[in-house]
Structure 1
């Protein structure tokens, strides 16, 4: 397993969209006014070439538990969790800037303050999270990459899971929600290899779950959601 001394690669392939349709004027305002404040300093290689660990106490103001959402989409789940658990600090990663803009609008509307937002590749953030610093992580409706030759692009591969495991504390919870049966198969096969134990696998959502727009689309199209829970070994 990767340890704290392993250097992060200087360049990585990135698959997926960085931006989509035109961002509305209000969303451009959120990006220009709010993102700099919410984005943790020291994630990018330009700001932190030595890849020194982030100071999470400085980000959230105390030593509260820290959770990570990987690919927060439109931000519904992340804002819901921030409002439900104000004593927790949440960091969200999302490279799709339209989704970041949507999240920032929801943050303003909800008035939650216990969040940090990184508008980029989750692997860059995992490089600089302190070892054992996360007590929960979420992967909700990740890009399914349905073609077999693209399965290596999915998050549930060792290139992603090993750095995630390093950043998670023993006993920390990792939740995966997806409507793609083959994604469930790969999740069940790969996540335990990175140092996690399966503790839940079924079609019943977690008690504090909020259905997202991606889940609603899956339901409309006749695909059943699946909820899988792991514990960091």
Structure 2
């Protein structure tokens, strides 16, 4: 989530090469990730939360200790959901749960829905475990994995909804390839969604809103279910020239009303206080 990025001052400045570029230069191939691995110790409170609640809430799906890949042979299907959650209730998956405020509140408000929080950063995982444990939630689980890797092993139609709220904006233009909303992930999300399922996205970054429209609006198998007209610049800006967006040509796009199921977190409040507009999207599996 963007919140994680703001809390970590040091981010990767050099964009990851594409596979073709690396192969050309004789380097090993690697994935373009939407996050940067950072090491950091948990404070005493979060370490206690991890120790106390990981066994109850943290799924054992990783390829190994310290790996964010999914172990070979694992499949997240209906049988797995029933074995972990103990029921066949609808499953909502949140990509980038941050500190867990939203997914925990949603789980509290919807006890007949199963929730899976995906987060890569240790403090975010630990804080989500803490909130889940303190509230005694039985319908929430956490996975510390690279979301696109998990979606590759999710069974067709296993999820009712997918949420991606305030993802890392990667503001520099050379880093836009790292943004989590990409056609490949959209294809995996669509496959994992049940018929009529939705992918809900929100951002407070105007350029990311344009990016979402460019990726999703013309993509086969998706319907933009938004009923609100929003004007956006039709050219991209980066971290150094974002102020130029106001003078660029604009066009109208369809977006959604604020999703009532998303709690107003402190992070979103800060964005609103800074004068940023919140962009909500609802893409339905057609």
Give the equivalent residue in structure 1 for 2:45: 26
- Distance in 2 between residues matched to 1:194 and 1:45, nearest whole Å: 32
Q: Which residue does 1:61 correspond to in 2? A: 86
Which deviates more from structure 2 when the two are superposed, residues 15-24 or residues 187-196?
15-24
Query: What's 2:266 paired with?
Result: 213
Cα deviation digits, residues 14-35 of structure 1 (max 9, x gap): 3424446542212101112322
Aligned to 2:73: 50
Task: Assess if the C-alpha contact under 8 Å between 2:93 and 2:115 holds in 1.
Answer: yes
Size of the aligned set, in residue pairs, is 223
Residue 150 of structure 1 and its aligned partner are, at CA, apart by: 1.1
Tell whether 2:112 aligns with 1:81.
no
Distance 1:23 1:228, change over 3 A: same
Q: Post-superposition shift, 1:53? A: 4.0
DSSP 3-state at the match of 2:224: strand
Residue 222 of structure 2 corresponds to 196
Pick closer, same or farther for the CA change 1:17–1:97 going to 2, 3 Å: farther
Summarize deviations over 1:71-104 as a string: whole Å, max 9, x none: 0111111011101110010011000111111111
d(CA) in 2 for partners of 1:197, 1:139: 17
Structure 1 residues 45, 22: closer, same or farther in 2, change over 3 A?
Answer: closer
Paired with 1:203 and 1:20, the residues of 2 have a C-alpha distance of: 37
Q: Report how far residue 211 of structure 1 moved.
A: 1.0
Is it true that 1:152 corresponds to 2:150 in the alignment? no
User: What is the CA-CA distance between 1:149 and the residue it aligns to?
Assistant: 1.5
Distance, in Å, in 2 between the alignment partners of 1:133 and 1:152 is 28
Contact 1:19 1:98 in 2 (8 A): no
- C-alpha contact 1:172 1:232 (8 A) present in aligned 2: yes
TM-superposed CA distance for 1:13, in Å, is 4.0
Matches within 5 A, 1:106-145: 106-145=131-170
Secondary structure at the aligned position of 1:108 is classed as helix
1:39·1:117 contact (CA, 8 Å) conserved in 2? yes
Provide the TM-score with structure 2 as the length reference: 0.72
Shift of 1:225: 0.9
Q: What 5-or-longer segments of structure 2 have no aligned partner?
A: 1-28, 65-69, 227-253
1:172 aligns with 2:197: yes
Gaps of 5+ in 1: 1-9
Distance change in 2, residues 1:203/1:182 (3 Å): same
CA, structure 1 residues 150+169, in 2 after alignment: closer, same or farther (shift >3 Å)? same
Segment drifting more, 87-96 vs 14-23: 14-23
Per-residue Cα deviation, 1:149-195 (whole angstroms, up to 9, x for no partner): 11111111113211111111120011111101111111112124152
State the Cα RMSD in Å: 2.1
* Larger Rg computed on CA atoms: 2
